[in-house]
Each structure stands twice: as C-alpha cells, then as structure tokens.
Homo-oligomer: A and B are copies of this chain.
Amino acid sequence: MAELFKAITVAQAREMIGRNLNLQPPVKRVSITEALGKRVAGDITAEEDVPGFDRSTMDGFAVMARDTFGAMESLPAYLDVDGEIFMGKEASLAIVGGRTWRVPTGGMLPPGADAVVMVEHTEELDGRTIGVTRPVAPGENIVRRGEDVSTGSVVLARGHSIRPQDMGFLAAAGVHSLEVEEPLRVTIISTGDEVVPPERSPGPGQVRDVNSYTLYGMAGQCGAYPVIAGIIKDDFQTLKEAMEKALTGSDMVLLSGGSSVGTRDVSSRVIESLGRPGVLFHGISIKPGKPTIGAVVDGKPVFGLPGHPVSAMVVFALLVEPLLKTGRYPQNEREKRLEFPLPAKINRNVRSAAGREDFLRVELKMEQGVMVAEPVLGKSGLIGTMVRAEGLARIPIEKEGVEAGEYVLVRPF
C-alpha cells in the first residue's frame, strides 16, 4: 500500500487533512478566569454600552467645548465652577453655558458637557472661577458612552482564541461566564520493540521512550489535553486495539513509530485499517520528517510520526500544533508568515534540495546588531541537538540551500 503514496508538500498535507477534518470538541461554560487560550463557542454580543456614560480621560474640568473657543494664555475663557464630580458617582446636573464642573480621570461627565479641559490648561482665580488658557475641541479628553463596547456589537466572535485582553474585554462588557470549546484531547502512543519507559533501565539494544514526552510537552504548550497511552507492542492486532481505544477517547491520535522499516510497516498498516477516509498521505517532502503518515478517521486526525525525536517534533510543529491551537491550518500569507516570525542571518552554507522544505535546528546570537542563526549539527535521532537549539529555521521548498550571510526565517523556542 505505502508504495502507492508519493511524498507531498506540507501545504498539500495541510489541505488534505483540513478538507477531511471534523473536530467536534465539547462545549463548556466557564468563568473568565478559566477562559485563557480556549476558543469561543458562539458569538458573544454586548448587552450594554461600555462605558455606560461619557467619561473623562484626564483630571480637569468638564465643559461645553464652544465655551473655550479662542481661549489663550493672554486671554483666558472664564468659567464658573458649579462643583466637583466624584469618582464613581453620578453627575446628574446638566452643564450650563459658561459654567463648568471639576472632574477626575475616569469620572462621569455631566449631561451637556462634550469635552474636558486638562487641569494644566486652567488657572484658578478664586474658589468659584477658572480661566481656561487653551481651547478644546468637542470630544477632546473624553471617552463617549459605548466607545469601548456598544450594545448589540459582537464582543468576540465564534472560534476566537481568548487572549488576556479578551478576558478584560469580557469583564468590561459584564460577560462573567461564557461557552468555550474544550481543549482537544490528544492520545500519544509510542511503538518500537526497542523502546522502554523512562523509569525502566534499558537492557542491551534498548532505549527509553523520548517521543511520548516531547509530544506531551508540545501538546501541553498548545493548551490541549495530552494523554500518554504508553509503549504499545509492534504487533498489528495489539496496536490496532490501542489505536481504536485512543480514537474513542480523544479528538486526535499521535503514533510515533520506531524508525525501522519493519516497525513503520506495522504502524502504517494499522493506521490504514482504522476507518474512513483513512490514510491521506504517506511521506512529506521535508527534512527531517519525511516518513510521516497523515490520516483522518471519522473527522479525527491520526498522525504516524517519525520515530526520530527531532523529526517527530518538526512534524508536530507543522501539522499538529495549528490544529491544537486554532482547530485549523493557517489560511493566509499572514498566518503562515507568523509561524516563522524571526529573520536571522545564517552563518554557514546549508545544502537542501529543490522540492523539499528543510528545517534546521539553530542557535541564535547577536553579532553587530544582527540576529545570527548558527545551525546545530547532529542526527535527527539525537534529542540533545534539539535541547541545544534555540529555534527552527526554514529553508523554503523552492530553494536548493542557503549560503552563509543569507537571511532565513526562524521560529524561536
């Protein structure tokens, strides 16, 4: 079977998975403080104006702006002070032409006032009169009722991932609980007859499980709920049962194979047997990470990741992370550019092949005010190279390599 599949590009892989995806995380009502990083389950509409009144943004005097027109140092506009508005208190008495109220930053404007003169631009004459030494325009130094949030407007739209400022915005609008999608549950399975759990001392020819922990960490960073299912024997029936169980209990399954052809064949046959539409591709034209299987089973993504730890992490970053963070793949140039935000000058020649995207582990350092990326050499089976690295640099698919001094784009980590 596997031979029928041709290595495809990352863009094609994303397109094929995206087209078959049908993630349906449960919806749950949470308080604002539990909402960070979660996705809004339905449009949230404001039921009132924020602020609920015209508000001063300065310590000063509430005025009708036209009373200050023409005012200057040498010829102030004189206004009678009717009183003082206190923080958090109602200003109920309307302002009258030629008169003013003292108002603090954040204080309510009296009806009729349309601007605030900063205290710095006034002079006190006696307790009852001030001179305004600089004119204000209508709207100056105030926030209008509903300027932050207006009744009926959409505060946050369905699918939006909640950031700290969104939490503040919800609080401002009086939304103290909201429906969000539960984070995706990801089951992580390791295979490979040579693999033992970290608490076991490996015998001759055995190594400890690395991928379960790197993938657990990466899924956790995305805000998902990862579950380590453990090391499953490289046997068709055992692995199939484990995969079926994982599919029942989670939204996504990550299998990280042993790296030998034998192990990969079992993993691949199991994934192919799971259901519809099943395996979509078998091999991506990237380095490291080529031997990747992508499948969707009843709307849930299933990935057969490479056994080499570096390769598995690269494929996770490209194909798994966007789904866990946003439920979809980047859809425009802007989102794609933000995946590798940092430009850096590479400091040695690196060969690649046209038609293949390469990802380099790099250390980052500043030299003469310029960010420099220094490739970390070492095999993709060595997790230590990823520990030394401070970012992942991308050599685009159309390039046959980069020369020392060229800029590459880096995702720092």
Is A143 on the interface with B (CB-CB < 8 A)? yes
Q: Is the CB of B92 within 8 A of A204?
A: yes
Question: Which residues 36-88 of A sit at the B interface, judged by CB distance below 8 A?
Answer: 36-37, 50-53, 55, 57, 59, 85-88
Q: Is the CB of B33 within 8 A of A213?
A: yes
Q: How far is the CA of A227 from the CA of B149 in the complex (A)?
A: 27
Q: Is the CB of A165 within 8 A of B383?
A: yes
Q: Is the CB of B383 within 8 A of A205?
A: no
Is A238 on the interface with B (CB-CB < 8 A)? no
Is A313 on the interface with B (CB-CB < 8 A)? yes
A203 neighbours in B (Cβ, 8 Å): 88, 90
Q: Is the CB of A213 within 8 A of B170?
A: yes
Q: How far is the CA of A203 from the CA of B108 in the complex (A)?
A: 11
Q: Is the CB of A213 within 8 A of B171?
A: yes
Q: Distance in Å from the Cβ of A162 to the closest Cβ of chain B? A: 8
Q: Out of B89, B91, B198, B309, name the residue touching A175 (CB < 8 Å).
A: B198
This chain: copies in complex: 2
Q: How far is the CA of A262 from the CA of B59 in the complex (A)?
A: 9
Is A397 on the interface with B (CB-CB < 8 A)? no
Q: Out of B33, B143, B170, B337, name the residue touching A366 (CB < 8 Å).
A: B337
Q: Out of B33, B205, B371, name the residue touching A228 (CB < 8 Å).
A: B33
Q: Is the CB of A341 within 8 A of B342?
A: yes
Q: Distance in Å from the Cβ of A75 to the closest Cβ of chain B? A: 28
Is A267 on the interface with B (CB-CB < 8 A)? no
Q: How far is the CA of A143 from the CA of B333 in the complex (A)?
A: 39
Q: Is the CB of A204 within 8 A of B108?
A: yes
A196 nearest CB neighbor, chain B only: B88
A248 neighbours in B (Cβ, 8 Å): none
A32 nearest CB neighbor, chain B only: B213
Is A343 on the interface with B (CB-CB < 8 A)? yes
Q: Distance in Å from the Cβ of A300 to the closest Cβ of chain B? A: 22
Is A249 on the interface with B (CB-CB < 8 A)? no
Q: How far is the CA of A286 from the CA of B220 in the complex (A)?
A: 35
Is A28 on the interface with B (CB-CB < 8 A)? no
A366 neighbours in B (Cβ, 8 Å): 332-334, 337
Since A143-B379, A172-B207, A172-B383 are in contact, a sample of 9 more A-B pairs with Cβ atoms closer than 8 Å, ordered by chain A residue number, is: A36-B221, A87-B194, A88-B193, A143-B381, A147-B382, A162-B217, A165-B383, A168-B309, A337-B366
Please give me the 5 A-B residue pairs with the lowest Cβ-Cβ distance, nearest first. Answer: A164-B217, A88-B194, A90-B204, A168-B214, A104-B260
